[in-house]
Amino acid sequence: MTKSIVVLGTQWGDEGKGKIVDLLARDMDAVVRFQGGHNAGHTLVIDGHKTVLHLIPSGILNQDAQCLIGNGVVVSLEALKAETESLESKGVNVRSRLGISPACPIIMPYHELLDHAREKAKGDKAIGTTGRGIGPAYEDKVSRRGIRFSDLYNPGLLAEKLEETLDFHNFVLEKYFDMQGLVFDRVLDDALQLGACFSDLVTDVSGELHRLRSEGKRILYEGAQGSLLDIDHGTYPFVTSSNTTIGAVCTGAGVGPDAIDYVLGITKAYTTRVGSGPFPTELFDDIGAGIAKRGDEFGATTGRPRRCGWLDAVALRRAAHTNGLSGFCVTKLDVLDGVETIKVGVAYRLNGELIDVPPQNPEAWDHLEAVYESFPGWQDSTRGITQYDDLPANAKAYIAAMESLCGAPVHMISTGPDRKENIILKHPLD
Ligand code: GDP
Ligand code: IMO
Ligand code: MG
């Protein structure tokens, strides 16, 4: 019997993970974030009311779901405070249901400064980060000089660690970037003050998950970003600084592989990307502009316009096998309504040769040319359809083609942003 589900993005993020996590959370006892930070922007629409979550798991609007932030998540205290307050002002009870691992690395003010300074220095080679300090915070974690959530409750230790770390980062800010460094007392006081707001949320997430599992509870692991932004498997260096693929569930939540029963890969019916980097199926014409407009393709975190293109089945096949996907959920099918001919990238041409898997060396991505297969579009609206039989014949044929091209069956289809606009072919818990 399926007890635990993982929801992962299979493209460059913004596939609609938040919407699907919220939908599935109705039947879950706990929802867990295990990587990323407030670079994520997960949009939930319930009866027309929109909520965008960045750090707090997308189960928070389901009253009975416990929400956990695992050790793999980098936590900004300011973002956590703002999000908690915003939700609580709308009557959502956050504090009694949220737990945060003491091992979470903290995103400190210098991380954000460094993120911006580096991007600026890179000029037209900038990655186009969200500017949230994600990369520098993960770097501090692996270099073993990071501040962890538990340190906030040990002022002596925090001061000792901060002194060393800030000294290092101030040197870089002042001497390399010619900026002003930060004042130790101020950074320390702010961290202690913000930390004090969350002392009751410190939770041994790994231990809690073990307990929940032993009681037979249902757990959903909520991925952020997408497979192509993975630090190892993505379009490096135009990626985020965490693993966004399946392995991160185990390391970022503290569970074993036997804790995963089903892996749901979310994909749009087309492709989008925010920030720089290769995008073989990108559209630069009116069709792309139409998709961007109908899909309201603006970043949920930074508001930046998202680049749009055709579905890339080559990249999706890779995502299906690197993540061991049990099934796909195809979102935003309705956005393709009215497109006369829909194309899907089914192979790449690289130096005159046809390849059907994405190359592993990042430099090759810049030279890929997508090879397409065309499918007839549909003119009727699919918006809000909840029964598969009600889909236009060409939409059904497109979904069938996706199944055979992308390496895993389609188990869910999303036909609008609202929680209730879905076709469920096979529920992950069944
Ligand atoms: P996430 O980061 O993967 O959670 O995705 P985002 O929330 O950043 O972006 C997805 C956007 O598409 C949001 O604005 C959602 O409200 C919207 N959305 C999700 N599913 C659908 C769908 O099936 N149709 C349409 N039209 N919009 C959708
Ligand atoms: P969700 O969870 C889309 C992208 C940024 C940039 C790169 C590195 O909403 O799908 P970072 O700030 O992480 O160092 O930026 O990753 N990026 C996302 N793109 N959706 C996201 O999250 C993203 N999180 C980061 O645009 O290209
Ligand atoms: Mg998003």
Rounded to the nearest whole angstrom, what is the distance from the C-alpha of residue 298 to the centroid of ligand 3? 9
Between CA 3 and CA 311 the distance in angstroms is 31
What percentage of the chain has pLDDT greater than the value 70? 100
Ligand 1 atom closest to Cα of 225? 2
Q: How confident is the model at residue 44 (pLDDT cuts 50, 70, 90)?
A: very high
CB-based contacts of 82: which residues, under 8 Å, 6+ apart? none
What are the boundaries of each domain within the chain? Answer: 4-101+202-259, 109-196, 266-424
Ligand positioned closest to the Cα atom of 229: 2
The predicted structure's pLDDT at residue 206: 98
Q: Which of 15, 73, 225, 228 to mutate to test the pocket of ligand 2 (most atoms within 8 A of CB)?
A: 225
Predicted confidence (pLDDT) per residue in 251-272, tens digit: 999 999 999 999 999 999 999 9
Q: What span, in angstroms and rounded, lies between the C-alpha atoms of 214 and 208? A: 10
Domains 4-101+202-259 and 109-196 in one fold? no
pLDDT digits (tens, 9 = 90+) for 141-174: 999 999 999 999 999 999 999 999 999 999 999 9
- Residue 184's pLDDT is 98
- The pLDDT-based confidence of 301 (bands split at 50, 70, 90) is confident
In the predicted model, is pLDDT for residue 325 greater than 80? Answer: yes
Mean pLDDT of the chain: 97
**Token couple for 398:** 């497109």
Express each pLDDT in 165-216 by its tens digit.
999 999 999 999 999 999 999 999 999 999 999 999 999 999 999 999 999 9
Q: Given pLDDT bands bounded at 50, 70 and 90, which one contains residue 362?
A: confident
Percent of the chain with pLDDT over 90: 97
Residue 116 amino acid letter: H
Residue 282, strand partner residues = 309
Residue keyed to tokens 């911006």: 116
Q: Which two tokens stand for residue 293?
A: 């407009």
CATH 3.30.70.20 fits 109-196, yes or no: no
Nearest CA owner, ligand 1 atom 8: 14
- Ligand 1, pocket-test mutation among 6, 14, 386, most atoms within 8 A of CB: 14
Assigned fold of 266-424: Adenylosuccinate Synthetase; Chain A, domain 3 (3.90.170)
Interval between CA 235 and ligand 1 midpoint (Å): 22
- Helix pair angle (313-323, 393-406), 10° resolution: 60
Dist CA 284 CA 132 (whole Å):
29
Phi, psi (rounded to 5 degrees) for 74: -90, 125
Q: Whose CA is nearest to atom 13 of ligand 1?
A: 43
pLDDT tens profile 53-69:
999 999 999 999 999 99
**pLDDT, mean of residues 411-423:** 98
Active site residue 14: yes
- Kindly report the pTM of this predicted structure: 0.98
Point out the ligand nearest to the CA of residue 237.
2
Ligand 2 neighbours (beta carbon < 6 A): 9, 12-14, 39-42, 127-130, 132, 134-135, 224-226, 229, 240-241, 274-275, 300
- Sequence-distant (6+) residues with CB within 8 A of 303 are none
Question: In the structure, what pLDDT confidence band is assigned to residue 2 with cuts at 50, 70 and 90?
Answer: confident
- Across 273-302, average pLDDT: 94
**The pair of three-digit structure tokens given for residue 406, joined into one six-digit string:** 């992308």
**pLDDT confidence tier of residue 361, bands split at 50, 70 and 90:** confident
DSSP structural state of residue 388: G
At the second CATH level, the architecture of 4-101+202-259 is 3-Layer(aba) Sandwich (3.40)
DSSP sequence for 402-415: HHHHHTS-EEEEE-
What's the CA-to-centroid distance between 174 and ligand 3, angstroms?
A: 34
